[in-house]
Structure 1
Amino acid sequence: MSQPVSPSPQQLQLKPEPDSVPPRGSTMAAKDPERHWLENVYKAGVRQLTVRAVIAGMLIGAVMCLSNLYVILKTGWSLGVTITACILAFATFGALRAVGLVRTEVSALENNAVGSVASGAGYMTGGGNMAAVPALLMLTGALPSTGWLVAWFSVVSALGVFAAIPIKRQLINIEQLPFPTGTATAETIQALYGADERSRGKARYLGVAGLIGAVIAFWRDAKASWLAWNLPAKVSLPFTIGGKPAGAWTLSFDLSLLLVGAGALVSFKTGWSMLLGAILTYGFLAPEMVSRGVIPEVTYKAINSWALWTGAAVLVSSGLLSFAFQWRSVAKSFKALSGLFGKKGEEEKDALADIECPPTWFPLGFLVLGPVAVFLMAYLFQIPWWAGVIAMPLSVVMGVIAARVTGETDTTPTKALGPVTQLLYGGLLPGNLAANVMSANATGGVGLHAADLLTNLKTGWLLGADPRKQFFAQLLGLVAGAAVVVPAFNLLVPTAEVLGTEEFPAPSALVWAGVSKMLVNGVGSLHTSARIGALCGLVLGVVLVLLERWAPKKAKPYIPSASGLGLAIVIPGASSISFFIGAAIAEVLRRKKAQLAEATVLPVSSGFIAGESLMGIAVAMLKAFGVMPK
């Protein structure tokens, strides 16, 4: 649920430069890809992790973190950070240089460092962070203080960065896994610093779209006295269901460019699957359950409390089965993991010993941060120390698996790995809701940040960057992200009542909280119809994955996406409609105007998302501080 939305496959082919790594499988690269990289690609002495790159990365990362926080509470997804950050850095430094505030242009490798810092900060919402913490708030009604949560996020994320060290060279240098988002980021940076004016125009598209998104959000949400009227948040579809307007069932046009932009970044298949899920849930199932008295009233919260179990079952079953089909990757991960501590024979001098992160940093990082993480688990979430100790090696395993799966598929399997940890701790600590949720947060956070660092290191490998500098860049970004995301979350979500509403559906949190409740209370605590719905959802998730895998090629475009369908069941129908509109516009552009789509879809969508989300947070702050009426 909280994976990044990645560019389309057409965007992922990095065009080789004269000094780039030979194609996978070529004779030279196969013999010694690391030595070839050192001699032909690595750019020694080029400025990379400069002070201005760190500052810019922290600021851009903080902005992207705020944006992702708003988006994940709305949709359950975290959106891509690094490509947008690199475009923003290029545009910002270009503007500063034009007015004389900066003397030299930011270099390609500086921009890559900006992306690493920004990514560490921007993905602070991922890895279960903004699923587990809202879920904990819904389950217990309270959270640790801001300082303690910042410490928790920082430690878990840093463990993920250290977990990436021992597997980096195998996955990136030797096997050269694609890590598609990392490859696409390298392509974007190369284009920005080339002579392609169209690529430079992406920065302008992003800026204009961001301004439009911000204006729409302010016009809709601000209650300023000088505004004659506000845009409505939603416009109901022009029909009734069960004697009530479609809008009462959440079937409306949502005047949100953020949701349309997010829809443009997912596949068209996901978009129409979400529309189908919304129609089935809010147009047929919910009215039927209301007529039978199972759902007490026609509100989103009442409908969601019943439909959640079906949607969660679709998401969890499809995620686990899809993950199971990647057993070869998992097996390779365990093989690599077993070799981390193995005794190695005499080898020739390591040519990259002074460039790569030393292998000793991995155990040292866990020796220092592991006890801190165990203490925080015990002190903040009442997880027994022995259970916290178990989470440490488990998080390494999850990190290795998540990194390989991300490298091969561009999808970090948080929605599969989270429930696995919840099931394990449901057996180890029955009845402990906090332990069930936050142990999954620990393993999910390590997995996400290990995969994220390796994605960024893939970009650096293609551009010739220094991996040690990217490692430190990532750590610096984590601190900035943790310091920003916790107070921003407290501002947007002052109480648990805000979650699970049309304003902030928080579907990821609902699923995590639902799984924990079911493990603690048992399936028998659910209404009979909800149990039937959960069983149907479980079967549906399995069937859709099997059809996607084994159906004839011609039939696959017509098989609904399990993740899209499951998500549509747990978010308002209006959100799914907006997603579909965005996905449809992007698909038409790709088919009719491929070049225009390549130049505009990613930057315009990112601009809409960033502009509206940041303005939404700004308006919330103005209301919280009494500057603007609520």
Structure 2
Amino acid sequence: MSSSSPSPSPSELRIHPNAPPPDAPGASAEQDPERYWLEHVYQGGSRQLTVRAVIAGMLIGAVMCLSNLFVILKTGWSLGVTITACILAFAVFGTLRSLGLLRKEFTDLENNAMGSVASAAGYMTGGGNMAAVPALLMLTGTLPSGGWLVLWFAVISALGVFAAIPIKRQLINIEALPFPTGTATAETIRALHGHGEVARRKSRLLGLSGLVGAALVFIRDARFTWLTNLPDKVSLPFTILGKKASAWSLSFDFSLLLVGAGALVSFKTGWSMLLGAVLTYGFLAPAMVSQGAIPEVTYKAINSWMVWTGSALLVSSGLLSFAFQWRSVARSFKALSGLFGGKGAQEEKDPLAGIECPPSWFPLGFAVLGPIAIFLMAYLFHIPWWAGVLAMPLAVVMGVIASRVTGETDTTPTKALGPVTQLLFGGLAPGNIPANVMSANATGGVGLHSADLLTDLKSGWLLGANPRQQFIAQLFGVVAGAAVVVPVFHILVPSADVLGTEEFPAPASMVWAGVSKLLSTGISALPETARVGALCGALLGIFLVLLEKWAPAKAKPFIPSASGFGLAIVIPGSSSIAFFLGSAIAEGLRRKMPKLAEDATLPVASGFIAGESLLGIALALLKAFKWMPK
């Protein structure tokens, strides 16, 4: 739906089956969408934020957070968790009830509240959190202790939740921005709780594919004397400069995680990644090895040179794409002007005063948590206090922008907002690497969690949920996510040497570290070939975005995705090949068997990802505690 629409249509509001037709007496959505919602959609007496919904959300969210941690270290992306969490919770509670262990049915609004908890926990890896912290480790070799990092993540994420309060009603109630993932979550919850067979089929697919993914990683990675392991990869059948293709990272990986992740991205992103991998590792890397710019044929050596080209492409394309969304940014600043003193949707006789979060919670939240965040910046990362103070209003601005862009496009622009903050603090505090990285983490984390809460609130708006209870649910999820992500990260990444390898390419961290290092040392510190590569990457990023913007509609499907192409430059070629395979299989299903694709793609792909990532983490823990040979 266009953001210029003055109010939601009655058909959009009438997602709940009990809502009356738009021509019923008293229906006045066009005149007052909030009153219409209150009278015809809101389910005030239903169970929502129950103890079991909170506990289930924290547990499922923690599990999804660990899965996302593994995925982001592999691919640089955090994947959506809310729909998967809702399917999983429905299956678990349905099973418990069928066994007679529960008396009360798990309602749709309980599932929605559970999803708010789970999404806040699951997205703890996003918003720059698991880009900035690994980048800081790579650049400085040290990190604060685990307890301090848990507090840092929790405070920054909670600030994002509070930042969503003053803009929620304008973006969701009045403008009715689509928030596509939130809308899809509401539809999924309706399908789960309205059609038992659909829910059972999806939950079975999720469970079975999870077992398959876990079994594969066990056979591949578990080091027991009685087990014959699968190889990690199989080289493509050719050589480059006398070395096998696998030496250039061009191989087939035995990894369903990457195939599953590929199934969740568009086919355009998938083939763009394949194209980027072929050009990078099949042509550009060999050319640089021949010139001596890359000293040896290993992934780490190739990546140390390629990261400048890939980073420049990702940053330039992200910033230009963001610039083309200037209307959203302008509307965001217009909304900011109404945060203090303007009435906006807050009429004197507010029909939702007892349901929406009170406007006073926004300044109170920042008054309490803001000083803590500023103290943590100064104490943990040696960021000047004035820079920490500046980061707070900047974080609010980034939260408002990120929320609107997410509402209109379903894409949270962390990849653009992070470098913008890095550039800003690179000028204000030159040479201060922790300030450069962690200030961007602060603004990115606020932006992501603000957008995440509003996405959940969109689902609640369509289902008739209580937004104040969803706000509280997110705070529970923030605590759960922060508590689990830090200790497991320390186990998976005991030192900076693990990052930038084929096991954990950590492409997002490589980009953040590259931008910070460049701002600190200046471009003249780079080798000449790397400077040329960075310039070519930046120009290519700009060219691809402009081509996508201005090309005829018929040509756009054939224009490579700038983000997919750029990502392929900074991850192993084998990962891009697996992504392409997953996206091609999903696209083939969508074209040949659309019904099967609609029912199976999300649960099967999510199961592959969860099964492999969680058992991969479990095996890493066993090896770390020396309960299994490495």
* Corresponding residue number in structure 1 for 2:5: none
Equivalent residue of 1:612, what SS? helix
Q: 1:615 to 1:564 in 2, by over 3 A?
A: same
Aligned AA (1:80):
G
Equivalent residue of 1:235, what SS? strand
CA shift for structure 1 position 342:
2.5
Q: Distance in 1 between matches of 2:21 and 2:222?
A: 51
Q: Taking structure 1 as the reference length, what is the TM-score of the superposition?
A: 0.96
Q: Distance in 2 between matches of 1:373 and 1:622?
A: 35
Aligned residue-pair number:
616
* Corresponding residue number in structure 1 for 2:493: 493
* Corresponding residue number in structure 2 for 1:308: 307
* Corresponding residue number in structure 1 for 2:7: none
Aligned AA (1:318):
S
CA shift for structure 1 position 14:
9.8
The one-character-per-residue Cα deviations of 1:471-511 (angstroms, maximum 9, x if unpaired) are 00000000000000000100100000000000000000000
Whether 1:239 aligns to 2:238 is yes
Aligned AA (1:181):
T
Whether 1:555 aligns to 2:555 is yes
* Corresponding residue number in structure 1 for 2:247: 248
Whether 1:430 aligns to 2:430 is yes
Q: Distance in 2 between matches of 1:356 and 1:95?
A: 34
CA shift for structure 1 position 312:
0.6
* Corresponding residue number in structure 1 for 2:339: 340
Q: Taking structure 2 as the reference length, what is the TM-score of the superposition?
A: 0.96
* Corresponding residue number in structure 1 for 2:397: 397
The one-character-per-residue Cα deviations of 1:15-54 (angstroms, maximum 9, x if unpaired) are 674528969xx99322100000000000011111111111
* Corresponding residue number in structure 2 for 1:73: 73
* Corresponding residue number in structure 1 for 2:208: 208
Q: 1:213 to 1:249 in 2, by over 3 A?
A: same
Whether 1:281 aligns to 2:280 is yes
How do residues 134-213 of structure 1 correspond to structure 2 at under 5 angstroms?
Answer: 134-195=134-195, 197-213=197-213
* Corresponding residue number in structure 2 for 1:3: none
* Equivalent residues of 2:206, 2:606 under 8 A apart: yes
* Corresponding residue number in structure 1 for 2:361: 361
Q: 1:53 to 1:196 in 2, by over 3 A?
A: closer
Q: Distance in 2 between matches of 1:316 and 1:152?
A: 26
* Corresponding residue number in structure 2 for 1:8: none
* Equivalent residues of 1:21, 1:29 under 8 A apart: no
* Equivalent residues of 1:135, 1:437 under 8 A apart: yes
CA shift for structure 1 position 188:
0.3
* Corresponding residue number in structure 1 for 2:4: none
* Equivalent residues of 1:181, 1:410 under 8 A apart: yes
CA shift for structure 1 position 324:
0.4
Q: Distance in 1 between matches of 2:13 and 2:564?
A: 26
Q: Distance in 2 between matches of 1:295 and 1:135?
A: 22
Whether 1:449 aligns to 2:449 is yes
Q: Distance in 1 between matches of 2:611 and 2:183?
A: 26
Q: 1:99 to 1:629 in 2, by over 3 A?
A: same
Q: Distance in 1 between matches of 2:584 and 2:554?
A: 20
* Equivalent residues of 2:14, 2:20 under 8 A apart: no
How do residues 10-21 of structure 1 correspond to structure 2 at under 5 angstroms?
Answer: 17-19=17-19
Q: Distance in 2 between matches of 1:210 and 1:186?
A: 24
Q: Distance in 1 between matches of 2:507 and 2:542?
A: 20
CA shift for structure 1 position 104:
1.9
How do residues 471-620 of structure 1 correspond to structure 2 at under 5 angstroms?
Answer: 471-620=471-620
Q: Distance in 2 between matches of 1:234 and 1:548?
A: 35
Equivalent residue of 1:186, what SS? helix
* Corresponding residue number in structure 2 for 1:627: 627
* Corresponding residue number in structure 1 for 2:296: 297
The one-character-per-residue Cα deviations of 1:572-600 (angstroms, maximum 9, x if unpaired) are 00000000000000000000000000010
* Equivalent residues of 1:20, 1:463 under 8 A apart: no
Equivalent residue of 1:29, what SS? coil
Q: Distance in 2 between matches of 1:21 and 1:300?
A: 61
Q: Distance in 1 between matches of 2:28 and 2:420?
A: 42
Equivalent residue of 1:554, what SS? coil
Name stretches of at least 5 consecutive residues in structure 1 with no aligned partner.
1-11
* Corresponding residue number in structure 2 for 1:412: 412
Equivalent residue of 2:234, what SS? strand
* Equivalent residues of 2:274, 2:580 under 8 A apart: yes
* Equivalent residues of 1:21, 1:462 under 8 A apart: no
Q: Distance in 1 between matches of 2:538 and 2:597?
A: 37
* Corresponding residue number in structure 1 for 2:110: 110
Aligned AA (1:250):
S
Q: 1:286 to 1:27 in 2, by over 3 A?
A: farther
Q: Distance in 2 between matches of 1:135 and 1:55?
A: 33
* Equivalent residues of 1:14, 1:187 under 8 A apart: no
Equivalent residue of 2:349, what SS? coil
Aligned AA (1:402):
A
* Equivalent residues of 2:16, 2:462 under 8 A apart: no
* Corresponding residue number in structure 1 for 2:51: 51
Q: Distance in 2 between matches of 1:217 and 1:395?
A: 40
Q: Distance in 1 between matches of 2:387 and 2:447?
A: 18
Q: Distance in 1 between matches of 2:348 and 2:162?
A: 26
Q: Distance in 1 between matches of 2:168 and 2:20?
A: 19
Q: 1:299 to 1:342 in 2, by over 3 A?
A: same
Q: Distance in 1 between matches of 2:195 and 2:592?
A: 26
Q: 1:354 to 1:435 in 2, by over 3 A?
A: same
Whether 1:327 aligns to 2:330 is no
Q: Distance in 2 between matches of 1:192 and 1:86?
A: 9
* Corresponding residue number in structure 2 for 1:5: none
Q: Distance in 1 between matches of 2:13 and 2:543?
A: 32
* Corresponding residue number in structure 1 for 2:8: none
Aligned AA (1:509):
S
Q: Distance in 1 between matches of 2:470 and 2:585?
A: 37
* Corresponding residue number in structure 2 for 1:385: 385
* Corresponding residue number in structure 2 for 1:129: 129
CA shift for structure 1 position 101:
1.8
Aligned AA (2:294):
I
Q: Distance in 2 between matches of 1:212 and 1:570?
A: 29
Instruction: Give the share of equivalent positions with the same residue, in percent.
Output: 77
Aligned AA (1:271):
G
The one-character-per-residue Cα deviations of 1:92-148 (angstroms, maximum 9, x if unpaired) are 111111222222221100000110000110000000000000000000000000000
Q: 1:338 to 1:31 in 2, by over 3 A?
A: same
Q: Distance in 2 between matches of 1:219 and 1:96?
A: 31
Q: Distance in 1 between matches of 2:252 and 2:380?
A: 42
The one-character-per-residue Cα deviations of 1:137-160 (angstroms, maximum 9, x if unpaired) are 000000000000000000000000
Q: Distance in 2 between matches of 1:232 and 1:21?
A: 60
CA shift for structure 1 position 311:
0.5
Aligned AA (2:409):
T
* Corresponding residue number in structure 2 for 1:4: none
Q: Distance in 2 between matches of 1:318 and 1:384?
A: 31
Q: Distance in 2 between matches of 1:518 and 1:155?
A: 29
* Equivalent residues of 1:14, 1:184 under 8 A apart: no
Q: 1:107 to 1:343 in 2, by over 3 A?
A: closer
Q: 1:22 to 1:188 in 2, by over 3 A?
A: farther
* Corresponding residue number in structure 1 for 2:259: 260
Aligned AA (2:359):
P
CA shift for structure 1 position 197:
2.1
Q: Distance in 2 between matches of 1:127 and 1:101?
A: 39
Q: Distance in 2 between matches of 1:199 and 1:362?
A: 38
CA shift for structure 1 position 194:
1.0
